[in-house]
Amino acid sequence: EDQVTQSPEALRLQEGESSSLNCSYTVSGLRGLFWYRQDPGKGPEFLFTLYSAGEEKEKERLKATLTKKESFLHITAPKPEDSATYLCAVLYNFNKFYFGSGTKLNVKP
Amino acid sequence: DGGITQSPKYLFRKEGQNVTLSCEQNLNHDAMYWYRQDPGQGLRLIYYSQIVNDFQKGDIAEGYSVSREKKESFPLTVTSAQKNPTAFYLCASSIDNGRALPDTQYFGPGTRLTVL
Protein backbone atom coordinates (compact mmCIF):
# COMPACT_ATOMS: atom_id res chain seq x y z
CA GLU A 1 0.00 0.00 0.00
CA ASP A 2 1.39 3.37 -1.06
CA GLN A 3 2.17 5.66 1.83
CA VAL A 4 2.74 8.77 -0.28
CA THR A 5 1.19 9.61 -3.64
CA GLN A 6 2.17 12.57 -5.76
CA SER A 7 0.15 14.01 -8.63
CA PRO A 8 0.36 14.73 -11.40
CA GLU A 9 3.30 12.58 -12.51
CA ALA A 10 4.28 15.24 -15.02
CA LEU A 11 3.23 18.84 -15.53
CA ARG A 12 4.01 21.15 -18.39
CA LEU A 13 3.48 24.88 -17.86
CA GLN A 14 4.10 28.03 -19.82
CA GLU A 15 6.31 30.57 -18.15
CA GLY A 16 4.13 32.63 -15.81
CA GLU A 17 1.34 30.03 -15.63
CA SER A 18 0.77 29.27 -11.94
CA SER A 19 -0.21 25.79 -10.76
CA SER A 20 -0.07 23.38 -7.81
CA LEU A 21 1.48 20.00 -7.15
CA ASN A 22 -0.19 17.55 -4.78
CA CYS A 23 1.20 15.14 -2.22
CA SER A 24 -1.31 12.94 -0.42
CA TYR A 25 -0.42 10.54 2.36
CA THR A 26 -2.19 7.69 4.07
CA VAL A 27 -0.08 7.29 7.16
CA SER A 28 -1.32 8.33 10.56
CA GLY A 29 0.72 10.10 13.16
CA LEU A 30 2.57 12.35 10.74
CA ARG A 31 5.70 13.79 12.32
CA GLY A 32 6.78 15.91 9.37
CA LEU A 33 6.32 16.43 5.64
CA PHE A 34 9.22 17.48 3.44
CA TRP A 35 9.47 18.92 -0.05
CA TYR A 36 12.57 18.56 -2.21
CA ARG A 37 13.61 19.64 -5.67
CA GLN A 38 15.70 17.25 -7.74
CA ASP A 39 17.52 18.10 -10.96
CA PRO A 40 18.46 15.28 -13.36
CA GLY A 41 21.42 13.24 -12.14
CA LYS A 42 21.69 15.12 -8.84
CA GLY A 43 20.69 14.62 -5.23
CA PRO A 44 17.47 16.15 -3.90
CA GLU A 45 17.71 19.72 -2.65
CA PHE A 46 15.73 20.59 0.46
CA LEU A 47 12.90 23.12 0.07
CA PHE A 48 10.47 22.99 3.00
CA THR A 49 9.49 21.15 6.15
CA LEU A 50 5.90 21.24 7.44
CA TYR A 51 4.96 19.82 10.82
CA SER A 52 1.26 20.40 11.41
CA ALA A 53 -1.99 20.94 9.52
CA GLY A 54 -2.53 24.57 8.61
CA GLU A 55 1.15 25.35 8.40
CA GLU A 56 2.47 27.24 5.35
CA LYS A 57 6.01 28.00 4.17
CA GLU A 58 7.14 30.24 1.31
CA LYS A 59 10.32 30.65 -0.66
CA GLU A 60 10.49 32.86 -3.74
CA ARG A 61 7.87 31.52 -6.19
CA LEU A 62 7.09 28.44 -4.10
CA LYS A 63 4.58 28.02 -1.30
CA ALA A 64 3.93 24.77 0.57
CA THR A 65 0.77 24.07 2.57
CA LEU A 66 -0.31 21.14 4.71
CA THR A 67 -3.66 19.62 5.67
CA LYS A 68 -4.38 16.43 7.57
CA LYS A 69 -4.33 14.31 4.40
CA GLU A 70 -2.27 16.19 1.84
CA SER A 71 0.18 18.90 1.02
CA PHE A 72 0.31 21.28 -1.90
CA LEU A 73 3.28 22.95 -3.49
CA HIS A 74 2.03 26.09 -5.20
CA ILE A 75 4.19 27.58 -7.93
CA THR A 76 3.42 31.19 -8.76
CA ALA A 77 4.52 32.63 -12.11
CA PRO A 78 7.07 29.88 -12.75
CA LYS A 79 10.22 30.39 -14.77
CA PRO A 80 12.09 27.85 -16.91
CA GLU A 81 14.68 27.44 -14.14
CA ASP A 82 11.93 26.00 -11.94
CA SER A 83 11.88 22.93 -14.19
CA ALA A 84 12.80 19.90 -12.08
CA THR A 85 11.28 16.93 -10.32
CA TYR A 86 9.64 17.82 -7.03
CA LEU A 87 9.65 15.14 -4.35
CA CYS A 88 7.51 14.86 -1.26
CA ALA A 89 8.44 12.77 1.78
CA VAL A 90 6.66 12.01 5.03
CA LEU A 91 8.06 10.96 8.36
CA TYR A 92 5.72 9.04 10.59
CA ASN A 93 8.00 6.62 12.34
CA PHE A 94 11.27 7.39 14.02
CA ASN A 95 13.82 8.13 11.33
CA LYS A 96 11.92 6.42 8.52
CA PHE A 97 11.06 8.71 5.66
CA TYR A 98 8.67 7.62 2.89
CA PHE A 99 9.01 9.30 -0.49
CA GLY A 100 6.53 9.82 -3.29
CA SER A 101 7.60 9.13 -6.85
CA GLY A 102 7.71 12.82 -7.69
CA THR A 103 6.17 15.33 -10.09
CA LYS A 104 8.27 16.23 -13.10
CA LEU A 105 7.71 19.90 -13.87
CA ASN A 106 8.62 21.41 -17.23
CA VAL A 107 8.26 25.17 -17.64
CA LYS A 108 8.43 26.40 -21.22
CA PRO A 109 9.59 29.95 -22.04
CA ASP B 1 32.04 24.12 3.14
CA GLY B 2 29.79 21.76 5.06
CA GLY B 3 28.03 19.04 3.18
CA ILE B 4 27.71 15.45 2.10
CA THR B 5 30.02 13.91 -0.46
CA GLN B 6 29.56 10.66 -2.35
CA SER B 7 32.07 8.87 -4.50
CA PRO B 8 32.43 7.82 -7.13
CA LYS B 9 29.85 9.66 -9.23
CA TYR B 10 29.66 6.78 -11.70
CA LEU B 11 30.49 3.14 -10.96
CA PHE B 12 30.46 0.11 -13.19
CA ARG B 13 30.32 -3.39 -11.81
CA LYS B 14 30.63 -6.76 -13.38
CA GLU B 15 28.19 -9.44 -12.33
CA GLY B 16 29.40 -11.32 -9.28
CA GLN B 17 31.47 -8.45 -7.93
CA ASN B 18 30.99 -6.57 -4.68
CA VAL B 19 31.38 -2.80 -4.84
CA THR B 20 31.49 -0.17 -2.12
CA LEU B 21 29.97 3.30 -2.39
CA SER B 22 31.42 6.03 -0.21
CA CYS B 23 29.45 8.61 1.79
CA GLU B 24 31.09 11.25 3.99
CA GLN B 25 29.53 14.19 5.83
CA ASN B 26 31.05 17.08 7.78
CA LEU B 27 27.76 18.44 9.10
CA ASN B 28 28.19 16.76 12.49
CA HIS B 29 24.93 14.92 11.87
CA ASP B 30 24.14 11.86 13.94
CA ALA B 31 21.89 9.97 11.53
CA MET B 32 22.83 8.76 8.06
CA TYR B 33 20.81 6.98 5.40
CA TRP B 34 21.15 5.14 2.12
CA TYR B 35 18.45 5.22 -0.52
CA ARG B 36 18.03 3.69 -3.91
CA GLN B 37 16.24 5.58 -6.71
CA ASP B 38 14.90 3.88 -9.83
CA PRO B 39 13.22 5.65 -12.76
CA GLY B 40 9.59 6.52 -12.02
CA GLN B 41 9.82 5.38 -8.41
CA GLY B 42 10.28 7.14 -5.14
CA LEU B 43 13.39 6.83 -3.05
CA ARG B 44 13.51 3.51 -1.18
CA LEU B 45 15.37 3.15 2.10
CA ILE B 46 18.16 0.57 2.17
CA TYR B 47 19.81 1.13 5.56
CA TYR B 48 19.99 3.85 8.17
CA SER B 49 22.16 4.55 11.17
CA GLN B 50 21.32 6.75 14.13
CA ILE B 51 24.64 6.42 15.91
CA VAL B 52 28.14 5.10 15.43
CA ASN B 53 28.42 1.30 15.44
CA ASP B 54 24.68 0.86 15.05
CA PHE B 55 22.48 0.58 11.97
CA GLN B 56 19.08 -0.77 10.96
CA LYS B 57 17.70 -2.35 7.82
CA GLY B 58 15.35 -0.34 5.68
CA ASP B 59 12.73 -1.65 3.29
CA ILE B 60 15.11 -3.15 0.71
CA ALA B 61 18.23 -4.22 2.62
CA GLU B 62 18.69 -7.63 0.96
CA GLY B 63 21.94 -7.78 -1.00
CA TYR B 64 23.41 -4.72 0.70
CA SER B 65 25.62 -4.16 3.73
CA VAL B 66 26.82 -1.10 5.64
CA SER B 67 29.16 -0.08 8.43
CA ARG B 68 29.29 2.97 10.69
CA GLU B 69 32.69 3.05 12.35
CA LYS B 70 32.94 6.84 12.30
CA LYS B 71 30.29 9.51 12.69
CA GLU B 72 31.31 11.10 9.41
CA SER B 73 31.26 7.98 7.25
CA PHE B 74 28.60 5.48 6.19
CA PRO B 75 29.81 3.29 3.29
CA LEU B 76 27.42 1.00 1.42
CA THR B 77 28.52 -2.30 -0.10
CA VAL B 78 26.46 -3.71 -2.94
CA THR B 79 27.06 -7.43 -2.87
CA SER B 80 26.72 -10.01 -5.61
CA ALA B 81 23.53 -11.17 -3.85
CA GLN B 82 21.73 -8.02 -5.00
CA LYS B 83 19.89 -9.21 -8.08
CA ASN B 84 19.24 -5.89 -9.78
CA PRO B 85 21.75 -3.34 -8.51
CA THR B 86 21.68 -0.90 -11.41
CA ALA B 87 20.26 2.31 -9.91
CA PHE B 88 21.03 5.77 -8.57
CA TYR B 89 22.17 5.60 -4.95
CA LEU B 90 21.70 8.52 -2.59
CA CYS B 91 23.17 9.09 0.83
CA ALA B 92 21.58 11.48 3.30
CA SER B 93 22.14 12.71 6.82
CA SER B 94 20.16 14.48 9.53
CA ILE B 95 20.55 15.68 13.08
CA ASP B 96 19.14 13.10 15.45
CA ASN B 97 19.32 14.47 18.95
CA GLY B 98 15.94 13.35 20.25
CA ARG B 99 14.23 16.67 19.78
CA ALA B 100 10.47 16.65 19.41
CA LEU B 101 10.49 18.02 15.87
CA PRO B 102 12.27 15.81 13.33
CA ASP B 103 15.10 17.34 11.42
CA THR B 104 15.44 17.55 7.70
CA GLN B 105 17.47 15.08 5.68
CA TYR B 106 20.16 16.55 3.47
CA PHE B 107 21.33 14.60 0.46
CA GLY B 108 24.61 13.97 -1.28
CA PRO B 109 25.03 14.22 -5.07
CA GLY B 110 24.49 10.49 -5.66
CA THR B 111 26.34 7.59 -7.25
CA ARG B 112 25.04 5.96 -10.41
CA LEU B 113 25.83 2.25 -10.41
CA THR B 114 25.62 0.23 -13.59
CA VAL B 115 26.03 -3.52 -13.81
CA LEU B 116 27.71 -4.66 -17.00
Q: Give the tens place of pLDDT for each residue, B80-96.
A: 888 899 999 999 998 76
**Cα nearest neighbour of A3 on chain B:** B42
Q: Do A96 and B110 touch (CB under 8 A)?
A: no
pLDDT of residue B103: 73
Of B33, B42, B110, the CB nearest to A102: B42
Looking at every residue in chain B, the average pLDDT score rounds to 90
Q: Is the pLDDT of residue B1 over 90?
A: no
B10-24: average pLDDT: 93
Phi, psi at residue A71, to the nearest 5°?
-130, 150
B93-109: average pLDDT: 76
Q: Confidence band (pLDDT; 50, 70, 90) for A94?
A: low
pLDDT of residue A31: 83
Those of residues 54-93 in A touching chain B at CB distance below 8 A are 87, 89, 91
Nearest one of A38, A39, A49, A57 to A90, comparing CA atoms:
A49
Q: Do A41 and B33 touch (CB under 8 A)?
A: no
Q: Is some CB atom of chain A closer than 8 A to the CB atom of B95?
A: no
Q: Do B43 and A4 touch (CB under 8 A)?
A: no
pLDDT of residue A93: 66
Measured CA to CA, the distance from residue B110 to residue B22 in angstroms comes to 10
The answer to whether the CB of A21 falls within 8 A of the CB of A72 is yes
